[in-house]
Amino acid sequence: MSWQPELDELKRREAFAEKLGGEMRVQRQKDGGRYTVRERIELLADDGSFRELGKIAGMAEYDGRNDLEDLVPSNFVFGRARLNGRQVVVCGDDFTVRGGSADATIKGKHLTCEAMANALEIPLVRLVEGSGGGGSVKTIETTGRSNVPGVVGWEMVVANMGVVPRVALGLGSVAGLGAAHLAASHYSVMIKEKSAMFVAGPPVVNRIGQNLTKNELGGWQIQLRAGAVDHAVNTEEEAFECAKQFLSYLPQSINELPPRVEPTDDPDRRVDWLIDAIPREIRKIYKMRPIINALVDEGSFFEIGRQYGKSVITGLARLDGWPVAFMASDPMSYGGCWTADTCRKVEKFVDMAQTFHLPIVNLSDCPGFQVGLEAEQSGVIKEGVRVMSAIWQTTVPWCTVIIRNVFGVAGAAHTVGDRFSTRYAWPSGRWGSLPLEGGIEAAYAADIAAADDPDAELAEITERLEKLRSPFRSAESFWIEEIVDPRDTRGLLTDFANTAAPLRKAGVSSHAMRP
């Protein structure tokens, strides 16, 4: 006797699942310029690689003889797939079925999705739209009761942040639990003009007197500046490519090492224009990103969080094919001073590098923490202590190049303080407890006031101290290990990457990364 009738029934149920929320709701999704969840997975994954789990899970309707009449599928689709040949878990919210809310959610699918990524030790890519399986006021009526808030399985989300790369793409309006999933990632992307993210949407905040559109409340510009999301692009296809590119720098899990790619750039390439990159006039600023791009393997710098904590640039890059976590001061923002936002950004960045065994390269030009009333109100010193602690806790190899300023407590965080790390300084390097500018008038106030020509006295003191703070004086006392020709920096960094490669150790980090 054949089991063909059961297989026919399975195909009938799969056909219900493939209809998603029905023709009308699918058309509404397309009219809004957005793909359906199944189209998204097809575009993201390598051809034919997606293997779905729980496809026929959903809410069924039966007739009086207990025969299936209709099936509304779960509004969450997930399974295994390959991205550029690498195995991942892909999951996505189906906005066509109750807007992705809890009313149409099979909780077991969310839990199994996270558990599978954790157990198989492979990255998780989450396509977020709607509430991400969160609540709806209609839940009270559909369930006949009101639930005490709780997020079943969130402990697995937290665990995964310290085990596997977690990428989240906000592909529409994202609220509540969906917003939490977008934020609980190592890398996140929104779609400009089509995505919005908030704790609660416009209808809710309107009740507290804030009449705002979705973009005014939680558009991409707001969330990138707040640091809640890392990047924004124009299309979903671009978001999918960003996810693939980000993952290419990372291992499958903490129990592997980040993979090297075949190098195509000369590791000892000399960058001649760097000799003139830093102005002699200390009040003149310069652009750091061209310096970064000149030093790393050509075209390999992948910036993360450009609109947040702008005084430090962070991203992933390759040096002679080896992936590294690359950070650099940006004097175009607050002169490179570390703000509270910058501290939070760097803390998350070094935690990610530590979690996934990425050596850290730092181009330092930090005149200290931001000062003034705004800085004190932001709690900059508290955030500064946290980021310094995060840096000191890292065990991955560090290489720092002092480009210009290293001053104060923030300047001390240019490298790890309790163990050896590779460090170079350009001839333009300047360091100390605080910059001479402004400090001379305070420290030598009596001498300047007593002088016949106060301006000449200030100039003489400044010249004397400038000679004393020469980097060569520091090298005499071994306060700095090497002063190098800026043009040779790429070769030094690729040498560091090759030296650091065998020192990387797979496994659990000294401390787990939190969302």
In three-state secondary structure terms, 210 is coil
Indicate the pTM of the whole model. 0.91
Q: In the structure, what pLDDT confidence band is assigned to residue 187 with cuts at 50, 70 and 90?
A: very high
What pLDDT score does 117 carry? 97
A 10 A CB-CB count for 134 gives 22
Q: Identify the CA nearest to 179 among candidates 140, 133, 225.
A: 133
Domain match, 310 and 243 both = no
Total count of domains within the chain? 2
The CATH number for 346's domain is 3.90.226.10
In a domain, residue 294? The reply is: yes
Domain match, 286 and 241 both = no
What mean pLDDT is reported for the chain?
90
**Is the pLDDT score of 133 beyond 90?**
no
Residue type, 58: G
Domain interval for residue 364: 272-434+470-503
Q: Identify the CA nearest to 365 among candidates 405, 412, 310, 424.
A: 405
In a domain, residue 186? The reply is: yes
What pLDDT score does 110 carry? 87
In a domain, residue 357? The reply is: yes
77: which DSSP letter? Answer: E
What pLDDT score does 456 carry? 83
Is residue 377 within 8 Å of residue 341, measured between CB atoms? no
Average pLDDT for residues 111-118, to the nearest whole number? 94
In a domain, residue 26? The reply is: no
Q: What b/e string do you get for 452-487 counting C-beta neighbours within 10 Å, with b at 16 or more?
A: eeeeebbeebeeeeeeeeebeebeeeeebeeeeebb
What pLDDT score does 134 carry? 53
Q: What is the C-alpha to C-alpha distance for residues 133 and 178, in angstroms, rounded to an integer?
A: 7
Q: In the structure, what pLDDT confidence band is assigned to residue 100 with cuts at 50, 70 and 90?
A: low
Domain match, 123 and 194 both = yes
Average pLDDT for residues 121-150, to the nearest whole number? 72
In a domain, residue 287? The reply is: yes
Domain match, 204 and 303 both = no
**Is the pLDDT score of 109 beyond 80?**
yes
pLDDT in tens, 89-98: 999 999 999 7
Q: What is the DSSP string of 124-172?
A: EEEEEEETTT---THHHHHHTS-PPP--TTHHHHHHHHTTS-EEEEEEE
**Is the pLDDT score of 103 beyond 60?**
no
**Is the pLDDT score of 199 beyond 80?**
yes
| Structural domain ending residue among the three candidates 208, 233, 248 | 248
Q: What is the C-alpha to C-alpha distance for residues 291 and 253, in angstroms, rounded to an integer?
A: 31
What pLDDT score does 145 carry? 62
Domain match, 166 and 91 both = yes
Domain match, 211 and 313 both = no
Average pLDDT for residues 486-494, to the nearest whole number? 98
In a domain, residue 447? The reply is: no
A 10 A CB-CB count for 213 gives 10
Q: In the structure, what pLDDT confidence band is assigned to residue 101 with cuts at 50, 70 and 90?
A: low
483: which DSSP letter? Answer: B
Q: In the structure, what pLDDT confidence band is assigned to residue 440 with cuts at 50, 70 and 90?
A: low
What pLDDT score does 11 carry? 95
In a domain, residue 354? The reply is: yes
Domain match, 322 and 216 both = no
**Is the pLDDT score of 442 beyond 80?**
no
In a domain, residue 215? The reply is: yes
Domain match, 226 and 160 both = yes
63-72, 140-149, 300-309: which is most confident: 300-309
Q: Which structure tokens are listed for 238? A: 């671009």
Domain match, 283 and 234 both = no
Domain match, 229 and 324 both = no
What pLDDT score does 283 carry? 87
